[in-house]
Chain A
Amino acid sequence: MESHENLKSYKHRLDDALDNHFLRQAMDKFAVAYRTSRENAFAGMDVADLIQQVADIKAAAIADSKALLERFIKKATAHGVHVHLADTAEDANRIIGEIAQKTGSKKIVKSKSMTAEEIHLNRWLENLGVEVTETDLGEWIVQLRKEGPSHMVMPAIHLSRFQVADLFSDVTGTDQDAEIDRLVKVARKELREKFVQADMGITGANYALADTGTIGIATNEGNARLVTTLPKVHVALVGIDKLLPTLADALTVNRILPKNATGQAITSYVTWITGPSECTTAPSGKREMHIVFLDNGRSKIAADPVFAQVLQCVRCGACANVCPVYRMVGGHQMGHIYIGAIGLITTYFFHGIENAKNLVQNCTNCGACKAVCAGGIDLPHLIKEIHARIQDEAGHPLQSLLLGKVLKSRKLFHSLLRTAHLAQKPLLDKKEKPYLRHLPMIFSSDHNFRRLPAIADVPFRDRFEKLHKPTDNPRFTIALFSGCVQDFVYPEHLEAAMKGFAMHNIHVTFPMGQSCCGLPAVSMGEKSAARDVALQNLDAVDLDTVDYIVTLCASCASHLTHGVPKLLKDYAPKKAAAFADKVVPYSVFMNDIVGIASAVRTGADVGRKTAFHSPCHLCRGLGVHNTPHELIEKSGNQYVPTDEEETCCGFGGSFSTTFPAVSNEILTRKLDDVTESGADLLVTECPGCVLQLRGGVAKQGRKFTVCHLSELLYPQSEP
């Protein structure tokens, strides 16, 4: 993993992971089980409030980290601890190596520390001729296999009991059964000898308390307790982001950390160490204790207005647990050292642009990580920020550059789409319109996992005048924001919606100056293009004359609501906020604002079992969960729940073209769920999801159909 790989070889690694049957099953089981155990762990608690408390505590500590460090050093030094400061990974390694040499330590036992992984400490110590043994079961397993951890708290989650049994058979020279309880006992026995022989113990720390000079360590196996008790020397390697003022702060963070990590109310052990404690084999009667504080770029992050919140991470690993991509490809493909969404971000800071540039693109922007983050970090936003920063530093790839350039001019963009409509003609499947029969040359064969729709003969913007019916005394006046996909690919979604608007006396305007919402540019790391289109859209809509800006695309709605004000905070903050205030997604507008009644209809369009795929940007982006279900019932159809309604479909805009193989697997998992529910129809509220889902259904020959909510409410069969 050290050599710098290009995107192509990274994709090969992804393909290998996708072919790993055990990994796929293990990850899938875990993703489903984690959801339930987390819910149970937090039962009866106000999780959002708890997350806010943790975010506030951590944010304040980051802002005050210099003073906290000084206070900690003063206290700990008074207790007799040797405190060291390491600016870089190499400094930390050197300091710890010197401690080992000075104390004559030849054998070291370690409890689990991601920070030690971050600096490759074992490699350094082993080069000095010191024997280092990991004592956390999972860490020991991956150490023996010469791998890195594939999860922040479950390092060996990618391995089966059979692989562990083979490994332990090699280690012990005796055949070991693949029975988990027995394998655990093998580790208990093998490692006890190591604990007893060790001259020095190395731990990380979950908390460093400035008020008392205390470190806190949360563990389950009890190994950190032996590591800090049997050897004569204890070294704790602690990132400066672990500093907190008080015990109460740590106890507050500890209320959420284990619940979010593994669904445990608390870990088996939480150990609080305040200076050297009794050690009967040490000459002084006290253990020699060192604390090495690691910076390694953390101060720089803390001073960065955008990225400071990265340090609010408490290392629970939840962002990986819920990530649809992690679930498909596992940890070694979803991080360099730190795994999951946080890993996509911190890799850039801790391990450089070369290790980060491919990883950072492997995100569907579904927001599942943000919804569970213990530290309240806006992970998807920061991933896009890192992507943009990497492109600014290392150069923009041609495709992304072109998209950025094209989007900056709406007219150019739209005329290109019209040209593309003509160019695709020879490719159209004559029998099976509206799918493209062959893919244009720019796509590789990988993209064939779903059928791609054709660009419409006449975009919605050219149909609007005919469809538009003037209304006297309208109930509401709205600006319809089409988004590019519905304007140019699925105008029928908007046409169906127009019927409903007319029926309910809604005056519809279609601002012709509107362009792409800008989300695709953000997701390709083209921030300046995203800003330009945001400003174009602000100019296009006359806010004084409309009550709402309605869009049938949940991604557009979410981006216009949350993304645009962020992008324009230094350009047009007031106008962007006023614009965002008026944006509503289609389902909310029809159900909660217009308040449509149940349809009275008969025939083929009613009584169908109807599943809903909740677009990520609808459920997590806008907090809309049940409104579409009500509309399904109102349409005269029967809403049926599916197992993971709010899990991503794998589209993610450019994600699905950059990582088609992963996208396809996420899609298949989603379609399996719908098949299992027995639904005849799958409805969603985002044209991107329709493109992905409908394309998958066509390609895989599934037995249900896919439509947009507007088509369900106002079917073609009705005038």
Chain B
Amino acid sequence: MVNTTTGSTKELAAVFTQKASLVSACVHEAKDRTEAMDKTLALLAQKPPLDPQMASGKKQDPSKRILAAPNLDHDGFQQLSDLCRAFPHIHLIRDRLRDFPGGIDMGVTTADFGIADTGTLVINSNDEHTRLATMLCEVHVAILAVSDIRETALSMTKELEMLVGRKGSYTAFVTGASRTADIERVLAIGVHGPLELHIILVEEK
């Protein structure tokens, strides 16, 4: 693998990986976006079938896998959809996520930033589909460029203010999968959000 990262970004990536792993996120590495998409599809191939959360509503075809990729840019989505052509059982969507209240198999999103000291993803979730993709999916895959990792939230206040300060904005800090310890303080992963979080660190944007 070609190493193009500098010493300090490499260190930040290492801290990020360690902290994210502590909260049960799985961190993977990829050299570019193509490799990240390959990994995403490999994760989808391993995934058990969806456990539908809605008794009512239309039934889903159990042989299908729903993959939502709402915030990939035009080229990225095109690329993913080309890759998906080899897998007819994958149903790739980028909007109308409200049609799947019972859940979707996987949401793949890019992340705007990573915060090393807590292993946190920062995701601009202004549009509803990005939000729903990261909430209704059983597995959330986030693609994060190594160069977008910062040391602490406080060290990137200016960048965060650009996101948070905008009218109508909805900015999500995501750290690990959804969790609870509300019964007997025993940790359980996967409550109202994803059951699993995978982060693919990409060396080149």
Contact = CB atoms under 8 A, between A and B. Distances in A.
Interface residues of A, number: 72
B160 to A, nearest CB: 6
A214 B161 CA distance: 11
Interface stretch (A272-280, A355-363, A651-659): A272-280
Of A161, A181, A222, A252, most B-chain CB atoms within 10 Å: A222
A580 to B, nearest CB: 37
Nearest to A220: B179
B55 interface: yes
A485 interface: no
B82 interface: no
Contacts of A277: 126, 128, 168-170
Contacts of B51: 185
Given A180-B186, A196-B54, A280-B98, A272 B170 contact: yes
Nearest to B185: A30
Contacts of B131: 225, 229
A251 B157 contact: yes
Contact of A252 (B154, B177, B191): B154
B55 A273 contact: no
Contact of A184 (B153, B166, B188): B188
B56 interface: yes
Interface stretch (A263-271, A324-332, A507-515): A263-271
A230 B103 CA distance: 13
Interface in B1-39: 19, 22-23
Contacts of A141: 182-183
Nearest to A159: B183
Contacts of B164: 209, 212, 214, 247, 272, 274
Contacts, number: 197
Nearest to B131: A229
A588 interface: no
A92 interface: no
A154 B165 contact: no
Contact of A266 (B103, B118, B183, B193): B118
B178 interface: yes
B42 to A, nearest CB: 25
A598 interface: no
A692 B160 CA distance: 55
B204 interface: no
Determine the main DSSP class of B at the interface with A: loop
B109 to A, nearest CB: 14
A251 B153 contact: yes
Contacts of B168: 79-80, 274-278, 286
Interface stretch (A10-18, A186-194, A635-643): A186-194
B74 interface: no
B58 interface: no
Interface in B130-172: 131-132, 134-135, 153-154, 157, 160-161, 163-172
A210 interface: no
A160 interface: yes
A136 interface: yes
A254 interface: yes
Contacts of B166: 274
A222 B174 CA distance: 10
Contact of B118 (A181, A220, A265, A274): A265
Contact of B180 (A137, A161, A255): A137
A610 interface: no
4 A-B pairs with least C-beta separation: A222-B193, A138-B182, A222-B178, A221-B191
Given A184-B190, A222-B192, A269-B175, 10 more contacts: A33-B185, A80-B167, A161-B183, A220-B180, A229-B132, A230-B98, A251-B160, A266-B118, A268-B174, A268-B179
18 contacts: A26-B184, A137-B180, A138-B182, A161-B186, A184-B188, A188-B53, A189-B53, A192-B53, A195-B192, A221-B193, A222-B178, A222-B194, A225-B193, A252-B154, A265-B23, A269-B173, A269-B178, A270-B172
